[in-house]
Amino acid sequence: MLVIIPLFLIIQPGCKPRQLVRPTPQMDTASRYWIRVLLLNNVTDCTLKIDSPFNVTTPNSYTPVSTVEAGFNSLEEPVKIELSAGRITIASRSFTERELTVYPSEQHIFSLNSNEYRGKLELIINPDGESFDAVNHVPLEPYLAGVIGAEIPVYWEPEVLKAQAIAARTYCLYIKKRFGKNRNWDVAKTQANQVYLGVKAESVQVWNAVNDTYGQVLTCKHPNGSEDIFPTYYSSVCGGHTENSKNVFGDSFEPLVGVECPYCKDVAKLTLFFWPMAQFDKNTVTNRLFRRYPQLKKLGQITSIEPSEQSNYGKFSRLTKVKLVGSTGKTDFLRAEDLRLTIDPTGRRLQSTICRIAKWDDKWAFLAGRGWGHGVGMCQCGAQGMARQGKTAEQILAYYYPGSRIKTVY
């Protein structure tokens, strides 16, 4: 017999509708597959909200052997985390330890300064005792779920999302291995590494791409003969040819030598593919260069920026090294990509180093620009172009990282 239950018995009046949240996978995975993301740097306070009971544990640890210092009930409203007199206080409870881990139960989700993240939150007082860093410890797959939707549009072809998932998974494991052991975190949450927005960047499409490529990374032959992961750089629009990593980041790997890319032109907006002239005041340029590279001060006011090395691709070329001449007559050299991001740290006006440099009264003008980003590795718009033509994630990755292989590591 069919019993119809009145709706008001199922949904209690006054109950807040609770969004269905996907539980955080991989919470019991080995620590080598966790990523530490720097969320806040040198702060003295922040806010925390957690919809489930949580523990504060010490020491910093991925494993259950850590000691529970305090248990908390779920928080109805955000509470303050503050540092004062060298101690961290969470919701008015003070702790003497220099490092604390906030470990949410159930969905394993916490909200820091109103942004939701998965995994755990580590709070580390800096050596001067004046500020602390907030670091998100998150397993690799939920980390990727917070990256892919921030890096490319989720409505793009599923094969591009999968290619992006494999490239992003490989890249962060490589950065962790290369730099993580010397610091309290592995990756920044900005474009300096990969843009990570946490739960709000997640979607069904992104989770599908993450799950369909679960544990897959790219490897290549290293100079010592071993087969291992490599820095799978990627950028938005290569402008027609990807660049050799040696000329931009100084590292040499077979899959990163650069390939012709006929695909991104039809995908990128015309004003992104061919960017408008960008002008910067000469004094601003000199000052920004001095701040970032104090050794350039000996040159005096920068009076000339000349191409020193470039990669020629027929119709266009990418500047890879520039010669700087100063008012003292002294000269120095910079990688063109370093010059670009020093002059325009956002990279939104001076979009790439496929351009010409000209003097324009009291300004430097960057003309005839093509592409967006450093141009090394996978071209994201190009990958979308390939997928539209029916290419698979494997084919896209094989094209932009020639000589690489897909390997499943867990």
**What residues make contact with Zn ion under the rule CB under 5 A?**
238, 261, 264, 379, 382
Q: Is the Cβ of residue 143 or residue 400 nearer to Zn ion in the bound state?
A: 400
Give just the sign of the alpha carbon dihedral 223, 228, 230, 234.
positive
State the minimum distance, in angstroms, from the CB of residue 366 to Zn ion.
Answer: 20
CA separation for the pair 243, 275 (Å, rounded): 18
- Taking alpha carbons only, the member of 397, 354, 328, 199 closest to residue 265 is 354
State the minimum distance, in angstroms, from the CB of residue 235 to Zn ion.
Answer: 9
Residue 264, CA distances (Å) to 195, 370, 387 in order: 21, 11, 11
Q: Is the Cβ of residue 86 or residue 262 nearer to Zn ion in the bound state?
A: 262
CA separation for the pair 63, 48 (Å, rounded): 23
3-state secondary structure of 111: strand
User: Across the beta sheet with 132-139, what order do the strands follow?
Assistant: 67-72, 54-58, 99-104, 120-125, 132-139, 34-43, 187-188
Q: Is the Cβ of residue 264 or residue 336 nearer to Zn ion in the bound state?
A: 264
CA separation for the pair 319, 311 (Å, rounded): 7
Q: Are 114 and 22 in contact (CB under 8 A)?
A: no
Q: Is the Cβ of residue 238 or residue 324 nearer to Zn ion in the bound state?
A: 238
Residue 182 amino acid letter: N
What does residue 49 show for φ and ψ, rounded to 5 degrees? -140, 135
State the minimum distance, in angstroms, from the CB of residue 384 to Zn ion.
Answer: 10
CA separation for the pair 157, 146 (Å, rounded): 18
Q: Is the Cβ of residue 40 or residue 238 nearer to Zn ion in the bound state?
A: 238
Q: Is the Cβ of residue 29 or residue 392 nearer to Zn ion in the bound state?
A: 392
State the minimum distance, in angstroms, from the CB of residue 368 to Zn ion.
Answer: 17
Q: Is the Cβ of residue 72 or residue 275 nearer to Zn ion in the bound state?
A: 275
State the minimum distance, in angstroms, from the CB of residue 357 to Zn ion.
Answer: 23
Residue 296 amino acid letter: L
State the minimum distance, in angstroms, from the CB of residue 206 to Zn ion.
Answer: 22
- The total of other beta-carbon atoms located within 10 Å of residue 303's CB is 15
- Taking alpha carbons only, the member of 405, 403, 35 closest to residue 252 is 403
Q: Is the Cβ of residue 110 or residue 399 nearer to Zn ion in the bound state?
A: 399
Element (H, E) at 41: strand 34-43
Rg (the chain; Cα; Å): 24
Q: Is the Cβ of residue 264 or residue 339 nearer to Zn ion in the bound state?
A: 264
- Taking alpha carbons only, the member of 372, 265, 385, 389 closest to residue 315 is 265
Q: Is the Cβ of residue 187 or residue 264 nearer to Zn ion in the bound state?
A: 264
User: What ranges in 221-281 are assigned the alpha helix state H?
Assistant: 245-248, 270-273
Query: Residue 289: CB partners within 8 Å, gap ≥ 6?
Result: 296, 302, 324, 334, 339, 342, 343
Q: 327: which DSSP letter? A: T
Give just the sign of the alpha carbon dihedral 36, 38, 40, 42.
positive
State the minimum distance, in angstroms, from the CB of residue 382 to Zn ion.
Answer: 3
State the minimum distance, in angstroms, from the CB of residue 380 to Zn ion.
Answer: 8
State the minimum distance, in angstroms, from the CB of residue 378 to Zn ion.
Answer: 9
Q: Are 104 and 116 in contact (CB under 8 A)?
A: no
Q: Is the Cβ of residue 165 or residue 238 nearer to Zn ion in the bound state?
A: 238
State the minimum distance, in angstroms, from the CB of residue 315 to Zn ion.
Answer: 14
State the minimum distance, in angstroms, from the CB of residue 233 to Zn ion.
Answer: 13
